[in-house]
Each structure stands twice: as structure tokens, then as C-alpha cells.
Structure 1
């Protein structure tokens, strides 16, 4: 089958890999000059399958209200004259109901665990390199009430197959000795030893090369400008290249893996994809003292940040800003990230010369991604992974390749 994949981020590239493995004739269209140069470029670097909690939780509305006037808040809602934003916000509040929250945890956990397994199998099969570390993720707390709430939730998460363990402050320091430099800020932690970390951009770039070796044709510098449809099915995709030339592309199946931009493809075709961009930020610094820099991947609950060691670099990422499609970098938020990193790991890295980045993460109100068929025949979606795109990429790609190939995916998930 001839399959056209729109988007060469980590999700689109993983989809292309699994389709090519199935023997399909795959072409990938990407507006950037290479793979993984937008949302996948400088994300948090964690394959966090055991951190399946969606943003929409029973306690989320109260926290968001407290953060409304904080420019450096972990989740910042900037109201706009944008019906899509307000609709997304209303649906987000609906997903905070306890029953919906628990159902979403179950779905996210199932796909994330499946995806991590597929990533591990891919790594064993190909030897792909991407600054991978398999030392687990330590989620530490600086607030006693938050730590106690997290400890109470451990049994619930274990019920979903997540190997989460409660750790005392001393045990947390034993897992990641670099935390000792932060003094007594840490009150406790939870630890997921089976989780991993790595550079999503390097992974995506190397996976694109592997997919290319299996016959996938990556066409960079092609921006989708229109689609054609008739009789209830997609008939073509039109792109413009870097020289302004238009081209029509035809296939037996079309996959939209355009992250936050996926709804812009669906709307003219008469259906809605419940995705809204959540702008995230990251800081990458060179490690200057390896004894003070973490090697275990970390999540800072108080600041809602993640720390990942990528070779001789330290990546700190997080926060979410619902402000439309703006990619303007907010230096206040970046400064807040640097300040927290310096506080937790003083002297560990060159915090005076950080590499700053911002990108749009495709978020659904439930944090459950949209994967599978659409109301338009031949058209498929693989989007809406939010902060878990790197975590879910291989599982999402493998599952969609199954669907396109006419098979039932192995994972229990509500595919469309």
C-alpha cells in the first residue's frame, strides 16, 4: 500500500518506521529541513511510561486558579478571543471528574507501557543510539502534603501495571546522590525503576535514517497547504516546497502526524480533532561538575519540571502555556527554569549560558491521544500526545501500522 505520512516528528517518524517494516511504500512530508526539528527537538527527554497521570485531575482546577496571575506558573492559561481555546478549556474541566480521570489514567498507562516495550524491542533490533539511560525516573517532592498525596496514589497506579515505589528522603538521595546538594528541600519521592530517558531529537533523526534504509522516502522542505477530497474520502495532499513550487501527492492512505497543527488539516474536511497547542519550554546546559549533576532522570513536582542527563548535557523542561500558536519565547519562564535548576543542583552546570527552547505540544483535554481512522476514508490521525509524545511514539506508530495493515493492535486502547 502507498502511504503518505504528514510530519517527521518523533510520532510521524515512528509511524513511518513501522509502516516501512510492514512493506508499505512510505513517503514522509515535512516542512522542516530534517526530522525532529519542532516539538521533538528539545523536549524533556523522558520515556515516562509509569507517570500516566493526565493534567486533568480532580485537583487541577484549584491549582490553575492559584496560578492565573503567575507569569512563571507551571500551567499558564492566557485567555484569547479563540473559540477553540475556550472549548478545549471547558472540556478539560469536564475531564477532571474522578471517573473520567481514572479512565484516562488507564488508557494512558496502557499505551505508554506498550510503547516503552516497543521502543526497547526497536533498540534491541537496531542498536539505535540516542544518549539512552535506563536508570528509572525519580519523582521528588518539596512539599509534604503533595508527597503524602503521591504516596497514597501509589497503589492505584500499581493497579494499572505501573511499578511505582515510595521512597524516603534518604532513599531518594541514595538513588540520586546529586540531590544532596539541594540541602533539605526534598521531603520524599516516588521511583519508577523501569522508566528511561534519552534525546528524542537524536532518536528521531536516527530512526528516520533507519526507516529510509527500509525504503521510506523523507521529503523535507514541503509544507502542506491544501487537501482534496470527494465522495467521503481524501484524494490528494498539496504542498509547497522551499522554492515556492506546488505539488500534489496521492496515496492509498494518509497519516496526519502534525502535532498541534493536525486540527488545521481536519477542520476544512468537516471534522474536529480536540487538540490545542500547549507551549512548553526547555533549557539545556553543559555539565561542568559531573559529581553535582544528576544521572537518574528526575521530576520536580513543585516546579513541574523534568531533568534528564543527555551525555555531557543536562536538559530541564516543563511548564505549559495555553496561548495559541505563538512560538515566542517567554524569557521569564525560561529564567524560572534556570533558577530552579541552579537551586537544586548548584555548581552542576554552566547555568550562565543556557540554550533556551520553546515548542508546541499537541494536547487533548484528557491527555489521551487521537489515533486511528477519521470520518474521511483513507485519512488517519496520530496526534494529541501532549507531554508524552516521546513516551508513546513507538506504541502509537506500531498500532497505527497495524490498523492500516488491517490488523487489530495488540494494546487495549480506544483507537478510532
Structure 2
């Protein structure tokens, strides 16, 4: 079967890899000059199935209102603009802010994230791929007792999913992350997730793309996808700035831009771009740096060790497809890192922003599109594209191939919104 994948980020490339492993002829098309140059370029670096949590939670509306009182340091910023897609997406998000929906959505996310981590482990063992990876777990840092109380519900769901975790006292946190010693007075505890990992998604994607090419995958770069040509219930071709491409199956893995491509087909995909920021800086003092990765619950940021670099990533900004870098967001990243660690050169940091393709329920959209027998989606992973990439790639490959996937997949398709 000839399969065309639209998008060469971490989701598109992992999809291509697993399809090639099943013997299919695969072509990957991307507007950039190389793989992983957009959202997959400089994310927080976490492979964190244990931290897979939907934004839509019972306490979000009240918490968001409090954040808005401190716009410079708020983890969430909504820029004032008339954007019907954003309004609809926020409405759906709010409808998921109840305990019942939260439990369903989190269980879905944990399912695909845990599966994906296992697929990544198997891929690493099979190929020997490296990407500044570390398998040393993740610690979610708490600065207040209220944050610990709030985490109790998540720990119950982790226990129900048989995901190893441990609530740590401050001294236990420091045993895992001694670089936090000077910030001990700021902490009240932490949640340790030993099964979580870290690594550079950009390095991983580029190296896996080269391995996929060796398996016969064809990559077409500098080709902007212009549209899908359909006849009745079938996609006939994809139009790009370079040429028309025809295949037997088409997989849309274009992240935040997926809804724009699908709209002319009257396929309404509730994915909205949520801008996130990161700083990547050289490591200068190992005694004041993370051993692996920590999440600062107060600022909703991740601080991750990537070889001889440190990556600080996070924040959420709803501002459409605007990639302009905000000075205020940088201040928040620097503040969290300076308070907790400080063992890196902030003056030499690279500042970056990317658009996360977020669904209102937090779960990615993986599966077929009703009405089109050869159109598939693998998108909407939000902040967890790197965490869920290998599992999503293998899952979509199994579905396209006609093989029963290893995990339940019916509730991951776009049909759940209908």
C-alpha cells in the first residue's frame, strides 16, 4: 500500500517508521527543509506518561480566573481577539471541566502514553537510537500543601492504572534531585514517577527519519500542503506547492494546522493551537542542575536535563497562529529556573515558541475519518506529542494496515466528538 503522511514532526515520522516496518511504501511531505523544525523542535523534553493530565479539570475555571490576576507570571494567557474557533474550543474545554469527564479523559491519555513509552523503550532496544535520553523518572514539585492535596486525586487514578508513583517528602525530593538543595525552603514535597523519561524530541525525530529513509521511506521537503482532493468517499490526491501526490491512504499529522486542511472537506476537528515557550541553555554547574526532569507545579513549567544543556519549557498562550516571542513569558521561564536551580547560563539561552495542537478533552485524535475510506488522523497531542509519539505512530500504522492494535482505539478517533 502507498501511504502519504502529511507532516514530518515527531508524530509523522514515527507513523512513517512503523508503516515502513509493516512493509508499506511511505511518502512524508513537509513544508520545512528537514524533519522536526516546528512544534517538535524545542519542546520541554519530557516523555512523561505518568504526568499525562487533561487541562480540563474541575478546578480549572476558578484557577484560571486567579491566574488572570497575575498576567506576567500566569501559566495561562488568553490574548484578546475575536476568534470563533478559539471561542468554540474554549466552550468545549469548559464542558469537560467536571470530575466525570476528567476521569475518562485522563484514563484515555494514560492508556496511549503508557503504551507509547513501552513502544519507545522497544524501539530504543531494537535500533540503538540515542537522543540525549535519560531514564531516571520525573518529579512533580509542590510548593504548597494545597498542591499536594490536589494531587491526591491524580494519584488515585495513577494507582487504578497500575502506574508506579510515590509521594515524596522534601528530603526525599533532594535525594533524587540534589541540585534543588538551595531551594529546599520553597518546597513542601513532590510526586515521583519512576517510569517517566526525558530526551530531545528534535534529535530523536531527525535520527529516526534517517533510519526510516534507509527502510525506503521517501521524504519530500519544502513542499507546502495546499489541499486534499476528494471524490465521493475517497481522497484522490494531495496538492502541494511542489506537485500533486497520489496514494492509497492519507494520514494527516500536521499538528495545529490539521483543522485548516480538513475544513474544506467539512471535517470539523476541534484542535486549537496553544503556544508554548522554551529556553535552552548551556549547563554551567552540575551541582545546581536537574539530574533528569522536574515539573514546577506553581508555574506549570518543566525543567529538563538534555546532555550538557538544560531545557525550560511550558506556559500556555491562546493567540491563534501567532508565533511572536513574548518577553513576559521568558521572564516566567527564567524565574522558575533561577528559584529552583540556577546552574545554567541564561544569558546564552535560545528562546523559542511552538504551537501545540490541543483538543478540548486532552486526548489526541487517532484513527479514521468518517465519510472517507482512506483518510486518517494522527494529531491533537497537545503538550504530549513527544510522550505519545511512538505509541501513536504504531497505533495508526496498525489501523491503516488492518491489524488489531495492542490497545483499545475506538474512543481515540474523531468520532468521539459526534
Q: State the TM-score, normalized to the length of structure 1.
A: 0.97
8 A Cα contact 2:67 2:76, kept in partner: yes
Matched, 1:382 2:378: yes
Structure with the higher helix share, 1 or 2:
2
8 A Cα contact 2:253 2:379, kept in partner: yes
Counterpart in the other structure of 1:408:
404
How much has 1:339 moved relative to structure 2?
1.9
Matched, 1:353 2:348: yes
Secondary structure at the aligned position of 1:291 is classed as helix
Counterpart in the other structure of 1:83:
84
- Identify which range, 251-260 or 335-344, moves more after superposition: 335-344
CA distance in 2, matches of 1:319, 1:60: 15
How much has 1:91 moved relative to structure 2?
0.3
Counterpart in the other structure of 1:364:
359
8 A Cα contact 2:72 2:332, kept in partner: no
CA distance in 2, matches of 1:16, 1:207: 10
Counterpart in the other structure of 2:48:
48
8 A Cα contact 2:107 2:157, kept in partner: no
Residue 269 to residue 51, structure 1, CA distance change in 2 (3 Å)? same
Counterpart in the other structure of 1:313:
309
CA distance in 2, matches of 1:51, 1:288: 28
- After the TM superposition, which residues 11-410 of structure 1 pair with which residues of structure 2 at under 5 Å, given as runs? 11-69=11-69, 70-151=71-152, 153-241=154-242, 247-346=243-342, 348-375=343-370, 376-410=372-406
Secondary structure at the aligned position of 2:211 is classed as helix
Cα distance per residue 1:205-242 (max 9 Å; x no partner): 0010111111000111110012211112111101114x
Cα distance per residue 1:14-69 (max 9 Å; x no partner): 00000011110000001111111100000000000111211000011111112225
Q: Which structure 2 segments of 5+ residues have no match?
A: 414-418
CA distance in 2, matches of 1:65, 1:377: 44
Residue 233 to residue 71, structure 1, CA distance change in 2 (3 Å)? farther
CA distance in 2, matches of 1:96, 1:415: 19
- Identify which range, 7-16 or 158-167, moves more after superposition: 158-167
Q: Tell me the C-alpha RMSD between the 2 structures.
A: 1.1
How much has 1:374 moved relative to structure 2?
0.6
How much has 1:152 moved relative to structure 2?
5.1
Counterpart in the other structure of 1:244:
none
Q: Which structure 1 segments of 5+ residues have no match?
A: 242-246
Cα distance per residue 1:331-383 (max 9 Å; x no partner): 1101211122112113x010122110000000000110111101222111000
How much has 1:128 moved relative to structure 2?
0.4
CA distance in 2, matches of 1:145, 1:61: 17
CA distance in 2, matches of 1:180, 1:112: 31
How much has 1:81 moved relative to structure 2?
1.2
8 A Cα contact 1:44 1:308, kept in partner: yes
Residue 153 to residue 236, structure 1, CA distance change in 2 (3 Å)? closer
How much has 1:295 moved relative to structure 2?
1.1
8 A Cα contact 1:151 1:190, kept in partner: no
Secondary structure at the aligned position of 1:189 is classed as strand
CA distance in 2, matches of 1:401, 1:86: 34
8 A Cα contact 1:342 1:351, kept in partner: no
CA distance in 2, matches of 1:272, 1:71: 34
Give the total of aligned pairs: 410
Structure 1 runs (4+) deviating above 6 angstroms are: none
Cα distance per residue 1:79-113 (max 9 Å; x no partner): 42111100000000001111010000110000000
How much has 1:158 moved relative to structure 2?
1.1
8 A Cα contact 1:151 1:166, kept in partner: no
